[in-house]
Structure 1
Amino acid sequence: MPVVVSFVGQKGGVGKSTLARAFAAIAARGKLKVKLADLDVNQQTSVRWARTRSARGNGYPVEAEAYTTFEDVLANIKGFDLIIVDTPGHASPVTLEIARSSQVVILPTGASTDDLYPTVLLLYELEQMGIPKERLVVALCRLLEQREEHAARKYIETAGYEALVGSIPERSGYRSAHNLGQSITETSDQTLNRRARTLMESLLEKVMSQLQGSNTFQKREGNGSVA
Protein backbone atom coordinates (compact mmCIF):
# COMPACT_ATOMS: atom_id res chain seq x y z
CA MET A 1 0.00 0.00 0.00
CA PRO A 2 1.30 3.49 -0.78
CA VAL A 3 1.83 6.17 1.83
CA VAL A 4 -0.94 8.79 1.93
CA VAL A 5 -0.13 12.39 2.87
CA SER A 6 -3.01 14.85 2.83
CA PHE A 7 -3.29 18.65 2.89
CA VAL A 8 -6.56 19.80 4.47
CA GLY A 9 -8.11 22.95 5.91
CA GLN A 10 -11.23 24.88 6.77
CA LYS A 11 -10.77 27.48 4.05
CA GLY A 12 -9.06 28.15 0.75
CA GLY A 13 -6.10 30.37 -0.02
CA VAL A 14 -3.89 29.21 2.86
CA GLY A 15 -1.35 27.11 0.96
CA LYS A 16 -2.74 23.59 0.54
CA SER A 17 -2.05 23.35 -3.19
CA THR A 18 1.25 25.20 -2.82
CA LEU A 19 2.60 22.67 -0.34
CA ALA A 20 1.05 19.64 -2.03
CA ARG A 21 2.74 20.54 -5.32
CA ALA A 22 6.09 21.18 -3.63
CA PHE A 23 6.00 17.87 -1.79
CA ALA A 24 5.02 16.03 -4.97
CA ALA A 25 7.96 17.60 -6.83
CA ILE A 26 10.34 16.58 -4.04
CA ALA A 27 9.01 13.03 -4.00
CA ALA A 28 9.36 12.76 -7.77
CA ARG A 29 12.93 14.00 -7.52
CA GLY A 30 13.52 11.34 -4.86
CA LYS A 31 12.53 8.69 -7.43
CA LEU A 32 9.25 7.84 -5.73
CA LYS A 33 6.25 6.92 -7.87
CA VAL A 34 3.91 9.69 -6.75
CA LYS A 35 0.31 10.57 -7.55
CA LEU A 36 -0.97 14.06 -6.77
CA ALA A 37 -4.72 13.65 -6.24
CA ASP A 38 -6.65 16.90 -6.76
CA LEU A 39 -10.07 16.72 -5.09
CA ASP A 40 -11.11 20.22 -6.14
CA VAL A 41 -12.63 19.23 -9.47
CA ASN A 42 -13.92 22.74 -10.12
CA GLN A 43 -10.56 24.51 -9.99
CA GLN A 44 -8.09 21.63 -10.53
CA THR A 45 -5.20 23.86 -9.50
CA SER A 46 -2.75 21.00 -9.03
CA VAL A 47 -3.76 19.29 -12.27
CA ARG A 48 -3.24 22.45 -14.33
CA TRP A 49 0.13 23.05 -12.66
CA ALA A 50 1.27 19.49 -13.42
CA ARG A 51 0.25 19.89 -17.07
CA THR A 52 2.25 23.11 -17.32
CA ARG A 53 5.20 21.42 -15.65
CA SER A 54 5.12 18.55 -18.13
CA ALA A 55 4.68 20.82 -21.15
CA ARG A 56 7.64 22.99 -20.17
CA GLY A 57 9.86 20.05 -19.20
CA ASN A 58 10.49 21.43 -15.73
CA GLY A 59 12.46 19.08 -13.51
CA TYR A 60 10.90 15.78 -12.64
CA PRO A 61 7.34 15.34 -13.94
CA VAL A 62 4.50 14.95 -11.47
CA GLU A 63 1.46 12.82 -12.22
CA ALA A 64 -1.66 14.67 -11.10
CA GLU A 65 -5.29 13.75 -11.58
CA ALA A 66 -8.62 15.23 -10.51
CA TYR A 67 -11.03 13.05 -8.55
CA THR A 68 -14.65 13.61 -7.56
CA THR A 69 -14.47 11.45 -4.43
CA PHE A 70 -11.81 10.09 -2.12
CA GLU A 71 -13.07 6.59 -2.89
CA ASP A 72 -12.00 7.20 -6.48
CA VAL A 73 -8.53 8.12 -5.23
CA LEU A 74 -8.22 4.92 -3.22
CA ALA A 75 -9.39 2.89 -6.21
CA ASN A 76 -6.44 4.16 -8.26
CA ILE A 77 -3.44 3.77 -5.97
CA LYS A 78 -1.95 0.57 -7.36
CA GLY A 79 1.65 0.96 -8.44
CA PHE A 80 2.33 4.17 -6.49
CA ASP A 81 4.65 4.72 -3.53
CA LEU A 82 3.07 7.97 -2.39
CA ILE A 83 -0.38 9.52 -2.72
CA ILE A 84 -0.58 13.26 -2.02
CA VAL A 85 -4.12 14.50 -1.50
CA ASP A 86 -4.87 18.15 -2.28
CA THR A 87 -8.32 18.81 -0.80
CA PRO A 88 -10.88 21.56 -1.59
CA GLY A 89 -10.88 24.85 0.30
CA HIS A 90 -13.25 23.71 3.04
CA ALA A 91 -13.63 20.94 5.57
CA SER A 92 -16.40 18.36 5.24
CA PRO A 93 -17.23 14.85 6.46
CA VAL A 94 -14.88 13.61 3.74
CA THR A 95 -12.02 15.41 5.53
CA LEU A 96 -12.24 12.90 8.37
CA GLU A 97 -12.26 10.01 5.92
CA ILE A 98 -9.14 11.38 4.23
CA ALA A 99 -7.41 11.97 7.57
CA ARG A 100 -8.13 8.41 8.72
CA SER A 101 -6.45 7.04 5.59
CA SER A 102 -3.41 9.35 5.84
CA GLN A 103 -0.13 8.70 7.58
CA VAL A 104 0.37 12.47 7.92
CA VAL A 105 -2.22 15.27 7.74
CA ILE A 106 -0.91 18.79 7.07
CA LEU A 107 -3.04 21.83 7.85
CA PRO A 108 -1.60 24.95 6.17
CA THR A 109 -2.61 28.25 7.73
CA GLY A 110 -1.96 31.95 7.51
CA ALA A 111 -0.94 34.04 10.53
CA SER A 112 -4.18 35.90 11.22
CA THR A 113 -6.62 34.76 13.88
CA ASP A 114 -9.16 34.36 11.08
CA ASP A 115 -6.92 31.56 9.76
CA LEU A 116 -5.49 30.18 13.00
CA TYR A 117 -8.75 29.79 14.92
CA PRO A 118 -10.48 27.49 12.39
CA THR A 119 -7.23 25.58 11.93
CA VAL A 120 -7.00 24.77 15.64
CA LEU A 121 -10.71 23.97 15.69
CA LEU A 122 -10.26 21.45 12.88
CA LEU A 123 -7.21 19.95 14.61
CA TYR A 124 -9.28 19.47 17.75
CA GLU A 125 -12.18 17.94 15.81
CA LEU A 126 -9.90 15.50 14.00
CA GLU A 127 -8.26 14.49 17.27
CA GLN A 128 -11.65 13.99 18.93
CA MET A 129 -12.70 11.77 16.04
CA GLY A 130 -9.78 9.45 16.67
CA ILE A 131 -6.95 10.82 14.49
CA PRO A 132 -3.72 10.47 16.52
CA LYS A 133 -2.27 13.86 17.37
CA GLU A 134 1.18 12.78 16.16
CA ARG A 135 -0.22 12.49 12.62
CA LEU A 136 -1.40 16.10 12.61
CA VAL A 137 0.86 19.05 11.85
CA VAL A 138 0.45 22.71 10.90
CA ALA A 139 2.37 24.51 8.15
CA LEU A 140 2.66 28.31 8.38
CA CYS A 141 2.16 29.95 4.99
CA ARG A 142 1.67 33.33 3.31
CA LEU A 143 3.42 35.28 6.06
CA LEU A 144 4.49 38.90 5.63
CA GLU A 145 7.13 39.23 8.35
CA GLN A 146 9.12 37.18 10.84
CA ARG A 147 7.18 38.27 13.90
CA GLU A 148 4.02 36.86 12.32
CA GLU A 149 5.67 33.45 12.29
CA HIS A 150 6.61 33.67 15.96
CA ALA A 151 3.12 34.73 17.01
CA ALA A 152 1.39 32.10 14.85
CA ARG A 153 3.71 29.35 16.06
CA LYS A 154 3.02 30.29 19.67
CA TYR A 155 -0.74 30.20 18.98
CA ILE A 156 -0.53 26.68 17.54
CA GLU A 157 1.80 25.33 20.21
CA THR A 158 -0.23 26.88 23.04
CA ALA A 159 -3.22 25.01 21.68
CA GLY A 160 -1.19 21.81 22.04
CA TYR A 161 -0.34 21.09 18.42
CA GLU A 162 2.80 20.90 16.31
CA ALA A 163 3.93 23.35 13.65
CA LEU A 164 6.56 22.47 11.07
CA VAL A 165 9.91 24.23 11.26
CA GLY A 166 10.05 27.22 8.94
CA SER A 167 7.36 29.08 7.05
CA ILE A 168 6.42 30.20 3.56
CA PRO A 169 6.35 33.98 3.06
CA GLU A 170 4.00 35.76 0.70
CA ARG A 171 6.22 36.50 -2.31
CA SER A 172 5.56 37.08 -5.99
CA GLY A 173 8.47 34.78 -6.84
CA TYR A 174 6.50 31.78 -5.66
CA ARG A 175 3.53 32.73 -7.81
CA SER A 176 5.80 33.22 -10.81
CA ALA A 177 7.26 29.74 -10.29
CA HIS A 178 3.79 28.20 -10.15
CA ASN A 179 2.87 29.94 -13.40
CA LEU A 180 5.78 28.09 -15.02
CA GLY A 181 4.94 24.69 -13.56
CA GLN A 182 7.65 24.90 -10.91
CA SER A 183 7.35 24.41 -7.17
CA ILE A 184 8.27 26.78 -4.34
CA THR A 185 11.70 25.13 -4.06
CA GLU A 186 12.37 25.73 -7.76
CA THR A 187 12.10 29.50 -8.14
CA SER A 188 14.73 31.75 -9.71
CA ASP A 189 15.43 33.26 -6.26
CA GLN A 190 17.70 31.08 -4.12
CA THR A 191 16.65 32.87 -0.94
CA LEU A 192 13.03 31.89 -1.56
CA ASN A 193 14.12 28.36 -2.39
CA ARG A 194 15.99 28.06 0.90
CA ARG A 195 12.96 29.29 2.84
CA ALA A 196 10.77 26.71 1.13
CA ARG A 197 13.31 23.92 1.57
CA THR A 198 13.44 24.49 5.32
CA LEU A 199 9.74 23.81 5.65
CA MET A 200 9.78 20.95 3.14
CA GLU A 201 12.65 19.26 4.99
CA SER A 202 10.65 19.54 8.21
CA LEU A 203 7.66 18.00 6.46
CA LEU A 204 9.78 15.18 5.06
CA GLU A 205 11.13 14.47 8.55
CA LYS A 206 7.56 14.40 9.90
CA VAL A 207 6.51 11.90 7.26
CA MET A 208 9.59 9.77 7.86
CA SER A 209 8.95 9.74 11.61
CA GLN A 210 5.51 8.27 10.96
CA LEU A 211 6.85 5.71 8.51
CA GLN A 212 9.81 4.13 10.24
CA GLY A 213 8.40 0.71 9.50
CA SER A 214 7.69 1.45 5.84
CA ASN A 215 10.02 -0.43 3.50
CA THR A 216 9.09 1.93 0.65
CA PHE A 217 10.47 5.00 2.37
CA GLN A 218 13.36 3.26 4.09
CA LYS A 219 14.68 2.04 0.74
CA ARG A 220 14.44 5.52 -0.79
CA GLU A 221 15.32 7.68 2.20
CA GLY A 222 18.72 8.48 0.76
CA ASN A 223 17.09 9.83 -2.42
CA GLY A 224 14.58 12.10 -0.70
CA SER A 225 16.73 15.19 -0.22
CA VAL A 226 15.06 18.52 -0.80
CA ALA A 227 16.82 20.20 -3.69
Structure 2
Amino acid sequence: MAYIIGMVSQKGGVGKSTLARLMVREFVAGEMTAKIADLDTQQQTCTYWAGRRAEEQIAPEIQVQSFASVKSALSEAARFDAFVLDGKPNASDQTLEIAKAADLVVIPTGQTVDDLHPGVVLAHSLRKKGIGAERIAFALFKTTGSDRETEAAKAYLAEAGYCVLEGAVPVSTAYGSASDGGKALTETSFRSLNKKASVLAQSVIDRIVELSEREVA
Protein backbone atom coordinates (compact mmCIF):
# COMPACT_ATOMS: atom_id res chain seq x y z
CA MET A 1 0.00 0.00 0.00
CA ALA A 2 1.42 3.36 -1.06
CA TYR A 3 1.84 6.41 1.11
CA ILE A 4 -0.39 8.94 -0.64
CA ILE A 5 0.51 12.60 -0.25
CA GLY A 6 -1.78 15.32 -1.55
CA MET A 7 -0.25 18.66 -2.53
CA VAL A 8 -2.95 21.34 -2.59
CA SER A 9 -3.18 25.13 -2.48
CA GLN A 10 -5.71 27.93 -2.58
CA LYS A 11 -3.51 30.01 -4.89
CA GLY A 12 -0.81 29.39 -7.46
CA GLY A 13 2.89 30.05 -7.11
CA VAL A 14 3.29 28.95 -3.50
CA GLY A 15 5.55 25.94 -4.16
CA LYS A 16 3.07 23.08 -4.45
CA SER A 17 4.55 21.42 -7.54
CA THR A 18 8.08 22.20 -6.38
CA LEU A 19 7.39 20.33 -3.15
CA ALA A 20 5.85 17.42 -5.05
CA ARG A 21 9.04 17.06 -7.07
CA LEU A 22 11.21 17.31 -3.98
CA MET A 23 9.28 14.58 -2.19
CA VAL A 24 9.34 12.08 -5.04
CA ARG A 25 13.04 12.69 -5.62
CA GLU A 26 13.77 12.01 -1.94
CA PHE A 27 11.64 8.85 -1.90
CA VAL A 28 13.40 7.50 -4.99
CA ALA A 29 16.83 8.47 -3.64
CA GLY A 30 15.89 6.46 -0.55
CA GLU A 31 15.29 3.41 -2.77
CA MET A 32 11.51 3.60 -2.65
CA THR A 33 9.32 3.50 -5.73
CA ALA A 34 7.43 6.75 -6.19
CA LYS A 35 5.48 8.72 -8.75
CA ILE A 36 3.88 12.13 -9.21
CA ALA A 37 0.35 12.30 -10.55
CA ASP A 38 0.20 15.70 -12.28
CA LEU A 39 -3.47 16.66 -12.05
CA ASP A 40 -3.10 20.15 -13.48
CA THR A 41 -3.67 19.20 -17.10
CA GLN A 42 -3.39 22.81 -18.29
CA GLN A 43 -0.10 23.81 -16.64
CA GLN A 44 1.50 20.33 -16.36
CA THR A 45 4.32 21.86 -14.36
CA CYS A 46 5.65 18.57 -13.02
CA THR A 47 5.28 16.82 -16.37
CA TYR A 48 7.39 19.42 -18.20
CA TRP A 49 9.94 19.42 -15.37
CA ALA A 50 10.31 15.64 -15.70
CA GLY A 51 10.91 16.11 -19.41
CA ARG A 52 13.73 18.56 -18.72
CA ARG A 53 15.18 16.14 -16.19
CA ALA A 54 15.11 13.28 -18.69
CA GLU A 55 16.76 15.44 -21.37
CA GLU A 56 19.59 16.26 -18.97
CA GLN A 57 19.85 12.58 -17.97
CA ILE A 58 19.72 13.42 -14.28
CA ALA A 59 19.65 10.51 -11.86
CA PRO A 60 17.61 9.23 -10.22
CA GLU A 61 14.89 9.03 -12.85
CA ILE A 62 11.58 10.47 -11.64
CA GLN A 63 8.25 9.16 -12.83
CA VAL A 64 5.59 11.78 -13.56
CA GLN A 65 2.32 11.24 -15.40
CA SER A 66 -0.49 13.62 -16.24
CA PHE A 67 -3.98 12.49 -15.24
CA ALA A 68 -7.36 14.00 -16.04
CA SER A 69 -8.94 12.89 -12.76
CA VAL A 70 -8.03 11.84 -9.24
CA LYS A 71 -9.79 8.53 -9.78
CA SER A 72 -7.67 7.62 -12.79
CA ALA A 73 -4.51 8.66 -10.93
CA LEU A 74 -5.33 6.49 -7.93
CA SER A 75 -5.59 3.43 -10.15
CA GLU A 76 -1.79 3.62 -10.38
CA ALA A 77 -1.05 4.19 -6.70
CA ALA A 78 -0.85 0.56 -5.55
CA ARG A 79 2.19 0.00 -7.78
CA PHE A 80 4.34 2.40 -5.74
CA ASP A 81 5.65 2.87 -2.22
CA ALA A 82 4.77 6.57 -2.37
CA PHE A 83 2.35 8.41 -4.63
CA VAL A 84 2.12 12.20 -4.78
CA LEU A 85 -1.03 13.88 -6.06
CA ASP A 86 -0.17 17.36 -7.38
CA GLY A 87 -3.48 19.17 -7.75
CA LYS A 88 -4.63 22.33 -9.47
CA PRO A 89 -4.68 25.52 -7.42
CA ASN A 90 -8.16 26.83 -6.59
CA ALA A 91 -9.83 23.56 -7.64
CA SER A 92 -12.29 22.97 -4.82
CA ASP A 93 -13.89 19.73 -6.03
CA GLN A 94 -10.58 18.19 -7.07
CA THR A 95 -8.90 19.43 -3.91
CA LEU A 96 -11.46 17.65 -1.75
CA GLU A 97 -11.02 14.45 -3.78
CA ILE A 98 -7.27 14.63 -3.24
CA ALA A 99 -7.70 15.26 0.47
CA LYS A 100 -10.05 12.30 0.89
CA ALA A 101 -7.60 9.98 -0.87
CA ALA A 102 -4.42 11.23 0.82
CA ASP A 103 -2.80 9.95 3.99
CA LEU A 104 -1.35 13.45 4.40
CA VAL A 105 -2.45 16.73 2.83
CA VAL A 106 0.33 19.29 2.51
CA ILE A 107 -0.42 22.98 1.94
CA PRO A 108 2.66 25.04 1.00
CA THR A 109 2.54 28.68 2.06
CA GLY A 110 4.64 31.79 2.29
CA GLN A 111 5.08 33.56 5.61
CA THR A 112 3.02 36.70 5.03
CA VAL A 113 -0.62 36.91 6.07
CA ASP A 114 -1.53 37.31 2.39
CA ASP A 115 -0.22 33.77 1.87
CA LEU A 116 -1.10 32.26 5.24
CA HIS A 117 -4.74 33.33 5.34
CA PRO A 118 -5.82 31.65 2.06
CA GLY A 119 -4.06 28.45 3.16
CA VAL A 120 -5.86 28.41 6.48
CA VAL A 121 -9.18 29.11 4.75
CA LEU A 122 -8.52 26.08 2.54
CA ALA A 123 -7.61 23.91 5.51
CA HIS A 124 -10.73 24.99 7.41
CA SER A 125 -12.90 24.18 4.39
CA LEU A 126 -11.39 20.69 4.18
CA ARG A 127 -12.06 20.13 7.88
CA LYS A 128 -15.69 21.15 7.44
CA LYS A 129 -15.96 18.46 4.76
CA GLY A 130 -14.62 15.72 7.02
CA ILE A 131 -10.83 15.85 6.65
CA GLY A 132 -9.19 15.51 10.07
CA ALA A 133 -6.91 18.34 11.16
CA GLU A 134 -4.18 15.81 11.98
CA ARG A 135 -4.01 14.90 8.27
CA ILE A 136 -3.30 18.48 7.21
CA ALA A 137 0.18 19.99 7.42
CA PHE A 138 1.65 23.29 6.28
CA ALA A 139 5.05 23.70 4.62
CA LEU A 140 6.79 27.08 4.68
CA PHE A 141 8.05 28.15 1.26
CA LYS A 142 9.75 31.24 -0.15
CA THR A 143 10.66 32.49 3.31
CA THR A 144 12.82 35.57 3.87
CA GLY A 145 15.30 33.98 6.23
CA SER A 146 14.07 36.09 9.14
CA ASP A 147 13.68 33.89 12.23
CA ARG A 148 11.19 36.36 13.66
CA GLU A 149 8.96 36.23 10.59
CA THR A 150 9.23 32.45 10.37
CA GLU A 151 8.25 32.01 14.01
CA ALA A 152 5.35 34.42 13.54
CA ALA A 153 4.11 32.35 10.59
CA LYS A 154 4.40 29.14 12.59
CA ALA A 155 2.47 30.71 15.47
CA TYR A 156 -0.28 31.87 13.09
CA LEU A 157 -0.72 28.35 11.74
CA ALA A 158 -0.48 26.68 15.14
CA GLU A 159 -3.14 29.03 16.51
CA ALA A 160 -5.35 28.02 13.60
CA GLY A 161 -4.94 24.41 14.75
CA TYR A 162 -2.55 22.93 12.21
CA CYS A 163 0.75 21.08 12.12
CA VAL A 164 3.66 23.06 10.71
CA LEU A 165 6.36 20.91 9.15
CA GLU A 166 9.97 21.36 10.21
CA GLY A 167 12.25 23.31 7.94
CA ALA A 168 11.56 26.12 5.51
CA VAL A 169 12.57 26.76 1.92
CA PRO A 170 13.90 30.33 1.50
CA VAL A 171 13.71 32.49 -1.58
CA SER A 172 16.76 31.74 -3.72
CA THR A 173 17.61 32.04 -7.39
CA ALA A 174 19.59 28.80 -7.01
CA TYR A 175 16.36 26.88 -6.40
CA GLY A 176 14.84 28.39 -9.53
CA SER A 177 17.90 27.55 -11.59
CA ALA A 178 17.87 23.98 -10.33
CA SER A 179 14.20 23.59 -11.25
CA ASP A 180 14.78 25.06 -14.71
CA GLY A 181 17.40 22.38 -15.26
CA GLY A 182 15.16 19.51 -14.17
CA LYS A 183 16.56 19.25 -10.66
CA ALA A 184 14.83 19.08 -7.28
CA LEU A 185 15.42 21.39 -4.34
CA THR A 186 18.01 19.05 -2.83
CA GLU A 187 20.05 19.08 -6.05
CA THR A 188 21.29 22.68 -6.18
CA SER A 189 24.97 23.59 -6.24
CA PHE A 190 24.78 24.79 -2.64
CA ARG A 191 24.98 22.36 0.27
CA SER A 192 23.24 24.73 2.70
CA LEU A 193 20.22 25.11 0.41
CA ASN A 194 20.05 21.38 -0.19
CA LYS A 195 20.07 20.79 3.56
CA LYS A 196 17.20 23.23 4.14
CA ALA A 197 15.09 21.42 1.56
CA SER A 198 16.10 18.04 2.96
CA VAL A 199 14.88 18.99 6.44
CA LEU A 200 11.45 19.85 5.04
CA ALA A 201 11.27 16.64 2.99
CA GLN A 202 12.21 14.53 6.01
CA SER A 203 9.53 16.26 8.06
CA VAL A 204 6.89 15.27 5.50
CA ILE A 205 8.11 11.67 5.64
CA ASP A 206 8.18 11.64 9.43
CA ARG A 207 4.65 13.03 9.59
CA ILE A 208 3.16 10.50 7.21
CA VAL A 209 4.90 7.61 8.98
CA GLU A 210 3.60 8.90 12.31
CA LEU A 211 0.04 9.03 10.99
CA SER A 212 0.34 5.52 9.55
CA GLU A 213 1.59 4.17 12.87
CA ARG A 214 -1.33 5.81 14.67
CA GLU A 215 -3.75 4.01 12.38
CA VAL A 216 -2.10 0.67 13.05
CA ALA A 217 -2.13 1.28 16.81
Q: Same fold (TM over 0.5)?
A: yes
- CA shift, 1:54, in A, is 1.9
Runs of 4+ in structure 1 over 6 Å off: none
- CA shift, 1:90, in A, is 1.4
Residues 98-134 of structure 1 deviation map (CA, whole Å, 9 limit, x = unaligned) = 1011000000011121111111111111112111111
Structure 1 residues 149 and 70: alpha-carbon distance in aligned structure 2, compared to 1, 3 A threshold:
same
Counting helix residues as a fraction of each chain, which structure ranks higher?
Answer: 2
Q: Secondary structure at the match of 1:167?
A: strand
1:46 matched to 2:59:
no
Residues 43-73 of structure 1 deviation map (CA, whole Å, 9 limit, x = unaligned) = 1110111122122121211100111111111
The residue aligned with 1:62 is 62
Q: Secondary structure at the match of 1:32?
A: coil
Q: Secondary structure at the match of 1:204?
A: helix
Residue 158 of structure 1 aligns with an amino acid whose one-letter code is E
1:165 matched to 2:166:
yes
The residue aligned with 1:37 is 37
Return the alpha-carbon distance in structure 1 between the equivalents of residues 149 and 195 of structure 2.
19
Residues 155-186 of structure 1 deviation map (CA, whole Å, 9 limit, x = unaligned) = 10111111101111010000111111110011
The residue aligned with 1:186 is 187
Q: Is the 8 A contact 1:11 1:91 kept in 2?
A: no
Q: Is the 8 A contact 1:139 1:164 kept in 2?
A: yes
1:117 matched to 2:117:
yes
Matches within 5 A, 1:1-227: 1-146=1-146, 147-212=148-213
Q: Secondary structure at the match of 2:14?
A: coil
TM-score computed with the length of structure 2 as normaliser: 0.94
Q: Secondary structure at the match of 1:83?
A: strand
Return the alpha-carbon distance in structure 1 between the equivalents of residues 139 and 193 of structure 2.
16
Q: Secondary structure at the match of 1:17?
A: helix
What stretches of structure 1 of length at least 5 have no aligned partner?
216-227
Return the alpha-carbon distance in structure 2 between the equivalents of residues 139 and 162 of structure 1.
9
Q: Secondary structure at the match of 1:163?
A: strand
Q: Secondary structure at the match of 2:105?
A: strand
- CA shift, 1:213, in A, is 7.7
Residue 107 of structure 2 aligns with an amino acid whose one-letter code is L
Aligned residues: 215
Return the alpha-carbon distance in structure 2 between the equivalents of residues 59 and 100 of structure 1.
32
What stretches of structure 2 of length at least 5 have no aligned partner?
none
Q: Is the 8 A contact 2:3 2:208 kept in 1?
A: no
TM-score computed with the length of structure 1 as normaliser: 0.90
Q: Is the 8 A contact 2:2 2:82 kept in 1?
A: yes
Return the alpha-carbon distance in structure 1 between the equivalents of residues 30 and 215 of structure 2.
16
Return the alpha-carbon distance in structure 2 between the equivalents of residues 168 and 110 of structure 1.
9
- CA shift, 1:79, in A, is 1.9
Residue 195 of structure 2 aligns with an amino acid whose one-letter code is R
- The percentage of aligned residue pairs carrying the same residue is 36
- CA shift, 1:204, in A, is 1.2
Residue 77 of structure 2 aligns with an amino acid whose one-letter code is I
